[in-house]
Amino acid sequence: MAYQALYRTFRPTTLDGLVRQEHIVRILKNQIAAGRVGHAYLFCGPRGTGKTSTAKIFARAINCLSPVNGSPCGKCAACKALADPANLDVTEIDAASNNGVNEMRDLREKVQYPPVSCRYKVYIVDEVHMLSDSAFNALLKTLEEPPKHAVFILATTEPHKLPATILSRCMRFDFKLIPQEDIEAHLKEVLRAVGKPFEDEAVSAIARAGAGSMRDSLSIADMCISYSSGALTYADVNEVLGSADFYEIAKLGEAILTENASAALTETETVLASGKGAAVLARDLLTFFNRCTVAKTCKNGNALLQLPAEMYAETERIAAAASGRALLRVSEIFAAVETELRYSVSPRIVLETAIVKACLPETDENTLALERRIAKLEERLAAAGGISAPPAAASAANAAQPRSPHAEGQPLRSAPQEREEDPFAGPPPEAPPEEAASYFAQGGYEEAPVRRAPAVNALDVDKRKSAFAYFLRALRKNAKNGVLFTMCQDLGSGFEGDTFVLTTDSEAIYRSLLRADHAQEVAAALAQIGIDSYEVRKQGEASDPVEEGIARLRRDFPDTDIRVK
């Protein structure tokens, strides 16, 4: 006899043999036991989840003379008659190739004839969503009021394509994807039955590739059995699936996570040159980053991934060195690339572009990319010796003190205080270092415009030039959320006497900065760099002349006690 595929050889013959789908099995068993068999059933769900197998078992069970626990006994006259392929009492129709109105008219005429040797005449219509509109109309009346001896079982993977008039006349059963652990258990039984030794990791890899479909998993297992002459190993499964070598993918993934574009492109060339397609490599990278995420976030990561010990150790090492944000970002990039590759005429270019984008977060316009750009700028400036971290002149307690209350919509002000030490310690940069200047020119960072008051107070003019940059740096380190930091980047700034003025042309940003929580964070960041008096102002809005006059008097006559009444 010719070889029969595993999914056909091990097709279940009883309802108890179905893997999962307990909710459906229970209903069908109860209907058979109570004799309440309907005239039309709709089995819908993903491929390979047991729709056709259930339909065949149910068709034999309702005709069985002595069903056992809702399943056909296989011994009675009806079961023996249905075992004959020439029996006409159970008819399977492929709607994909018999989708015309003439086929449905023929079915409508034949359904009137009673069964030959059984109780019911069962019609199993597979892929019923492929029927044409006229074929559905021809079937509609018969489906609504068939003869007492007729039972229709419709099976489809796309129930949304069926007319509502058909759906309303059927009892609908939704089949679910099969959990991986159940697929693994069934695969192990099959492999033991055929006498094939196996590694647990190999079975887990087959079950993952099946993606919830038992038929797909058995088909992959069939190929793996033919590929391997000895015990079925994890490496054998990867070869059959066409996946790239794990350690090559791990090396490429590590280069991407460490933002080494040159090494990533070199390794990409190596993998593609071995014959792997761009789509396969993108899928493997996405799988690898997903494994890294699991290894980083779950204590029992390998219980979920089921990788060999040395492979999981390598995955865990790479994941530990990467941040959660970086893993999330690269996963999103390659999830999008997998879709783009389906329609691209230049898949290699699309893949390499995605790899370079993943290696250069500073090219993105998001919060993570902005943080990376600022961090790299600080590293370059520090390496060039052009900037040093300013010590906090104000104490934490002083920075945490609440400002005087103010009415919403009014400028926020705080009284000037005497400073006991230089707020900007360290030598000021006379000119931007060459390396930092080139980074500015490339669009890495752009300093907000500074407005200067004509008068010169106790702070050095050169130190005032860097006040806004110091403020952003302190705010980035101390702010509880990135929204405030993002808003402050577009502010104008300058000194009016000893008062540091922040300006904006946006009403929304202006009102947001006046909120109590935002005002407290801004005040704390300014206090950390030694600025105790500041004001938030809309662009073009003049300062209070009385306040400005008082500030000028205090500046010109520092030894005079000036009181405001």
Which CATH number is 300's domain given?
1.20.272.10
Q: What is the band of 380 on the pLDDT scale with cuts at 50, 70, 90?
A: confident
Same domain? For 43 and 152 the reply is: yes
> 390 with 529: CB under 8 angstroms?
yes
> Could you tell me the two tokens for 241?
């699936």
The amino acid that residue 48 corresponds to is: G
CATH number at residue 114: 3.40.50.300
pLDDT at 343 over 60: yes
Of 306, 332, 359, the domain-final residue: 359
Is residue 551 one of the residues assigned to a domain? yes
Is residue 301 one of the residues assigned to a domain? yes
Is residue 58 one of the residues assigned to a domain? yes
* d(C-alpha 206, C-alpha 232), whole Å: 11
Same domain? For 312 and 346 the reply is: yes
Is residue 274 one of the residues assigned to a domain? yes
The amino acid that residue 275 corresponds to is: G
> 66 with 119: CB under 8 angstroms?
no
Same domain? For 334 and 251 the reply is: yes
CATH number at residue 222: 1.10.8.60
> Could you tell me the two tokens for 326?
């970086």
Helix, coil or strand: residue 97: coil
Same domain? For 410 and 515 the reply is: yes
Same domain? For 393 and 310 the reply is: no
* pLDDT tens digits for range 330-340: 998 999 888 88
pLDDT score recorded for residue 183: 92
Same domain? For 552 and 433 the reply is: yes
pLDDT at 431 over 80: no
> 504 with 513: CB under 8 angstroms?
yes
Most confident region among 340-349, 361-370, 502-511 by mean pLDDT = 340-349
Same domain? For 83 and 215 the reply is: no
* d(C-alpha 29, C-alpha 67), whole Å: 10
Is residue 565 one of the residues assigned to a domain? no
- Rounded to the nearest integer, the mean pLDDT of the chain is 80
Mean pLDDT along residues 438-446: 45
Same domain? For 326 and 285 the reply is: yes
Of 336, 359, 382, the domain-final residue: 359
> 522 with 548: CB under 8 angstroms?
no
Same domain? For 396 and 424 the reply is: yes
* pLDDT tens digits for range 23-46: 999 999 999 988 889 999 999 999
Of 359, 388, 417, the domain-final residue: 359
Same domain? For 51 and 184 the reply is: no
Is residue 366 one of the residues assigned to a domain? no
Helix, coil or strand: residue 451: strand
Range of the domain at 188: 180-241
Phi then psi dihedrals of residue 19, to 5 deg: -85, 120
Same domain? For 441 and 547 the reply is: yes
- Owner of token pair 């279940």: 12
CB atoms within 10 A of CB 77: 11
Q: What is the band of 129 on the pLDDT scale with cuts at 50, 70, 90?
A: very high
| Total of domains in the chain | 4
Torsion, Cα 80 86 90 95, to 10 degrees, reads 150
Is residue 353 one of the residues assigned to a domain? yes
Same domain? For 237 and 250 the reply is: no
Rounded to a whole number of angstroms, the distance between the first and last alpha carbons of the chain is: 110
pLDDT at 10 over 70: yes
Quote the distance between the C-alpha of residue 264 and its chain's center.
23
* pLDDT tens digits for range 414-423: 444 444 444 4
Is residue 127 one of the residues assigned to a domain? yes
The amino acid that residue 317 corresponds to is: R
